[in-house]
Amino acid sequence: MDIHAYVPGKAKAEGVADPVKLSANENILGCSEQAREAYAGAAGQLHMYPDSRTSLLRAAVAERFRLEPERLIFGQGSDEVFQLLNQAFLEPGDNIVQGEYGFAAYAIGAYACQAQVRRAKEPNYTIDVDEILKCVDERTRIVFIANPANPTGTWVPFAEIERLHRALPASVVLVLDGAYSEFCNDPAFDDGMDLARTAQNVVVTRTFSKLHGLAALRVGWGYAPAEIAAAVDRIRLPFNISIPGQLAAVAALADEDFQRRSVEHVDRWRPWLAQQLGGLGLEVVLPSAANFLLVGFPKTPGRTAVEAEAFLAGKGLLVRGVGNYGLPHHVRITIGLEEHNRAVTEALAEFLKA
């Protein structure tokens, strides 16, 4: 009962029939038309159990990223991969380490295993390797790092990830959550896949929910050392990825044009929205390397983050309050279509003037 259940981004606004949802970091362009066709084509197989080994998708991911197929873990979103890793490695009294604003799913899974959660300080809303290492002790089993991070959008160069890995005991598993990695194009960034290829204690996770726009189908995966993948497979429930999900994910992975357009859209409108919000006098946490911005609001009554979220909802614009992440004075805004981004800017200008 001490576990705080996950709170998703709002999907409804009172009195608004069809609000614009910018609260869950979904792909505003939708999904690949090829993926949609593959999903529809699976209708004739709904009476069948899916392939428990996700063979088609396993082969597609392995080929695309040059990975050994037997080292892949598949889950209902990367959330399930985190849960499986927690179940495999944690016993009562063990602990995980994550950033103080880290994704809630890490902690929920750890608490469910009766483990402790240690939250390392994040100066400037960014993961700090030295702060992470201060939290590691002989009962630490997993360190979770989202890079880029949610809900802040900040990221750390790969040199810092390497420094962290070198300093961790070999008995600690370093999990690199790459849910938003496709949106970071800085030369200093690396998703860690090559590190995971050779290290015995590194797992990299990815998802089809963000770039590929398949959030409804819940398909995620991880790349792990063979021993870790085999251990996780022992406790993974069978048939966890549906047939429509597997087929749509394979098609989405092949549609590189849709992936390119999705990244280009974020690359264009993320800096524009940041500039506009900054011009209103709001604190935009930069640089965001994901498909959203974290925006800070004054503590002055009438201008707070909670009131801003409610005001935008009244205009049919749903954004995400992140008080449950320890950020009560911020909201997170997904990058929308041009008309959405302009509407948010105009509405917040009106809110701040009022």
* pLDDT, tens only, 71-122: 999 999 999 999 999 999 999 999 999 999 999 999 999 999 999 999 999 9
Q: Which residue has the higher pLDDT, 6 or 30?
A: 30
Both 277 and 210 in one domain: the answer is no
Give the CA distances from residue 175 to residues 1, 139, 200, 321, in Å, rounded to whole numbers and listed in that order. Answer: 27, 16, 12, 26
Q: Give per-residue burial for 131-148: e unless 16+ CB within 10 Å, then b.
A: bbbebbeeebbbbbbbbb
Both 168 and 46 in one domain: the answer is yes
Q: Report the CATH number at residue 267.
A: 3.90.1150.10
pLDDT at position 50 over 90: yes
pTM, two decimals, is 0.94
User: pLDDT band at residue 188, thresholds of 50, 70 and 90?
Assistant: very high
Identify the pLDDT of residue 5.
Answer: 79
Whole-angstrom distance, CA of residue 314 vs CA of residue 312: 5
Both 53 and 185 in one domain: the answer is yes
Task: Examine the fold and report which residue of 254, 269, 289 is the final residue of a domain before the chain moves on.
Answer: 254
| Average pLDDT score over residue span 6-26 | 85
Whole-angstrom distance, CA of residue 24 vs CA of residue 12: 12
Walk across the sheet containing 220-223 and list its strands: 72-75, 220-223, 202-207, 173-177, 140-146, 95-99, 116-120
User: pLDDT band at residue 17, thresholds of 50, 70 and 90?
Assistant: confident
Instruction: Indicate whether 6 belongs to any domain.
Output: no
User: pLDDT band at residue 9, thresholds of 50, 70 and 90?
Assistant: confident
N-to-C CA span, the chain: 41
Both 95 and 217 in one domain: the answer is yes
The DSSP annotation for 239-294 comes to: T-S-HHHHHHHHHHHH-HHHHHHHHHHHHHHHHHHHHHHHHTT-EE-S---SSEEE
User: pLDDT band at residue 4, thresholds of 50, 70 and 90?
Assistant: confident
Name the residue among 123, 197, 196 with its Cα closest to residue 161. 196
pLDDT (tens digit, 9 = 90+) per residue, 212-252?
999 999 999 999 999 999 999 999 999 999 999 999 999 99
Domain total in the chain: 2
Give the CA distances from residue 331 to residues 226, 285, 306, in Å, rounded to whole numbers and listed in that order. Answer: 40, 11, 8
Give the domain range for residue 262.
20-30+257-353
Both 52 and 64 in one domain: the answer is yes
**148 cis-preceded (ω within 30 degrees of 0):** yes
Q: In whole numbers, what is the pLDDT of the chain averaged over residues? A: 95
pLDDT at position 286 over 90: no
Q: Indicate the length of the chain as a whole number.
A: 354
